[in-house]
């Protein structure tokens, strides 16, 4: 199966870095806090980060006491950024597609992935490989774009009233799993939509116990500072999942 590497595209990479550097981007407001809140204690643990990007999370895992952090990513550019900005003694960065983690021989107490899994076509296969890489009692924590976003297949994303206020999120083809092509800094970015049942059933079939789903929404403080985030009450941007392997 093909491994998509948009992050080594110059235009994509520049746009992505500029977006992530904004303090009020959706990742900083919602995704990262929700992901970190789902983590178990990391003292003395071995952690694998799938699609580690520029290594911000890997550095945080080391700060939280992990004895070993392996960050893998398909993008040389991302890993160069990680080595420049987030080098730490107990963190290793390695060029590897998420699809290829079956080749790893070590085992981990935690596998994490932040906003990367929607680029992977074979989700069920990935989930099985993660299960095999975990020690008993270990956990898999990941975030992805929300299924109500990934389902979208063209047209306008919102229905607005005459003043331009968002009334409805336009949902199409939610029930149809599979590839969606979109323009995000560059044309032809491929993401894979999965229904909630696909997300749940692959985890259950692999042997995971599903412990927590989170669909972050703005609290009162965020709404006061960022009133435009009220849209998330109609449709969340992210889904976060925590699943455990029995001890």
Binding site for its own copies (CB under 8 A): 148, 155, 159, 167-176, 195-197, 200-201, 204, 209-215, 217, 232-236, 239
Please say which residue, 34 or 88, places its beta carbon nearer to its own copies.
34
Q: Could you give the CA distance from residue 57 to residue 15 in angstroms, rounded to a whole number?
A: 20
Tell the smallest beta-carbon distance from residue 79 to its own copies (Å).
33
- Quote the tokens at residue 67: 């004895």
Please say which residue, 107 or 212, places its beta carbon nearer to its own copies.
212
Tell the smallest beta-carbon distance from residue 20 to its own copies (Å).
24
Please say which residue, 104 or 222, places its beta carbon nearer to its own copies.
222
Please say which residue, 79 or 148, places its beta carbon nearer to its own copies.
148
Tell the smallest beta-carbon distance from residue 241 to its own copies (Å).
9
Q: Could you give the CA distance from residue 156 to residue 158 in angstroms, rounded to a whole number?
A: 6
Tell me how far apart the 2 most distant CA atoms of the chain are, in Å: 59
Place of tokens 């979109």: 182
Q: What is the dihedral of CA 56, 83, 71, 6, to 10 degrees?
A: 90
User: In this structure, what DSSP letter does residue 194 have?
Assistant: -
Tell the smallest beta-carbon distance from residue 160 to its own copies (Å).
11
- Quote the tokens at residue 155: 């047209």
Please say which residue, 186 or 217, places its beta carbon nearer to its own copies.
217
C-alpha angle 146-150-153 in degrees, rounded to nearest 5? 150
CA atoms within 13 A on the CB side of 70: 18
Q: Could you give the CA distance from residue 12 to residue 30 in angstroms, rounded to a whole number?
A: 22
Contact 142, 241 (CB under 8 A): yes
For the stretch 54-76, what's the b/e string if a residue is b when 16 or more beta carbons lie within 10 angstroms of its beta carbon? bbbbbbbbbebebebbbbbbbbe
Tell the smallest beta-carbon distance from residue 139 to its own copies (Å).
13
Please say which residue, 86 or 114, places its beta carbon nearer to its own copies.
114
Please say which residue, 11 or 197, places its beta carbon nearer to its own copies.
197
Tell the smallest beta-carbon distance from residue 135 to its own copies (Å).
20
Tell the smallest beta-carbon distance from residue 131 to its own copies (Å).
15
């Amino acid at each position: 199966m093909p491994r998509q590497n948009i992050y080594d595209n110059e235009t994509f990479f520049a746009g992505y870095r500029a977006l992530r550097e904004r303090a009020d981007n959706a990742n900083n407001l919602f995704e990262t806090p929700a992901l970190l809140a789902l983590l178990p204690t990391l003292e003395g643990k071995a952690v694998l980060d799938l699609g580690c990007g520029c290594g911000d999370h890997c550095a945080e895992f080391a700060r939280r006491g992990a004895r070993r952090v392996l960050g893998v990513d398909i993008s040389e550019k991302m890993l160069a950024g990680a080595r420049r900005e987030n080098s730490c003694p107990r963190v290793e960065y390695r060029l590897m597609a998420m699809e290829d983690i079956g080749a790893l021989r070590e085992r981990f107490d935690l596998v994490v992935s932040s906003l990367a899994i929607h680029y992977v076509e074979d989700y069920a296969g990935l989930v099985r490989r993660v299960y095999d890489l975990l020690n008993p009692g270990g956990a898999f924590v990941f975030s992805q774009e929300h299924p109500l976003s990934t389902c979208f297949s063209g047209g306008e994303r919102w229905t607005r009233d005459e003043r331009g206020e968002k009334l409805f999120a336009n949902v199409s083809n939610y029930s149809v799993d599979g590839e969606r092509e979109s323009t995000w800094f560059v044309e032809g970015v491929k993401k894979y939509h999965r229904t909630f049942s696909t997300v749940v059933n692959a985890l259950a079939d692999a042997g995971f116990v599903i412990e927590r789903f989170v669909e972050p929404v703005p609290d009162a403080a965020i709404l006061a500072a960022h009133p435009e985030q009220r849209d998330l009450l109609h449709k969340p941007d992210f889904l976060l999942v925590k699943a455990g392997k029995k001890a």
